[in-house]
Amino acid sequence: MLAILAQAEKTLFLPPARSTMAGAHDGLYNFVLWMSVFWLVLIAGLLVYFVIKYRRKSPHDKPVGPTHSTAIELGWTLPPLILVMIIFVWGFRGFMNMNQAPNGAYQVLVSASKWNWAFTYGGGENDGTLHVPVNTPISLVLTSTDVIHSFYVPEFRVKKDVVPGRYNKTWFQATEVGEYNLFCAEYCGQQHSQMITKVVVESQEDFDAYLEVRGRWWKTEKPVDVGKTVYKDRGCAQCHSLDGTAGTGPTWKNIFGDERKFVDGSTRIADENYIRDSILNPGNEVLEGYDNVMPTFQGQIKDPEITGVIELLKSISTKYDGKILGEMPADPGDEADGGSGDGTQAQE
Residues 6+ apart with CB under 8 A from 281: 296, 298
Which residues between 94 and 133 bind other proteins (CB under 8 A)?
Answer: 94-99
> Residue 212 belongs to what H/E stretch?
helix 204-214
Q: Which range in 27-35, 119-127, 218-226, 263-271 contacts other proteins by CB under 8 A? A: 27-35
Which residues between 264 and 283 bind other proteins (CB under 8 A)?
Answer: 283
Q: Does 6 bind other proteins (CB under 8 A)?
A: no
CB of 305 to other proteins, least distance (A): 23
Question: Distance between CA atoms of 265 and 319, rounded to whole angstroms?
Answer: 22
Which residue among 4, 7, 124, 187 contacts other proteins (CB under 8 A)?
A: 187
Which residue among 165, 326, 333, 339 contacts other proteins (CB under 8 A)?
A: 165
Question: Distance between CA atoms of 72 and 62, rounded to whole angstroms?
Answer: 24
Residue number with CB closer to other proteins (88 or 273): 88
Tell me how far CA of residue 226 lies from CA of 131, 196, 311, 344, in angstroms: 19, 22, 9, 15
Q: How many other CB atoms sit within 10 Å of the CB of residue 311?
A: 24
Residue number with CB closer to other proteins (30 or 136): 30
Q: Does 90 bind other proteins (CB under 8 A)?
A: yes
Q: 49 near 205, Cβ under 8 Å?
A: no
Of 216, 182, 183, 215, the C-alpha closest to 200 is: 182
Q: Which range in 133-141, 153-161, 218-226, 314-322 contacts other proteins by CB under 8 A? A: 153-161
Residue number with CB closer to other proteins (149 or 214): 149
Q: Does 178 bind other proteins (CB under 8 A)?
A: no
Q: Does 92 bind other proteins (CB under 8 A)?
A: yes
Which residue among 46, 263, 269, 346 contacts other proteins (CB under 8 A)?
A: 46
DSSP, collapsed to helix, strand or coil, labels residue 282 as: coil
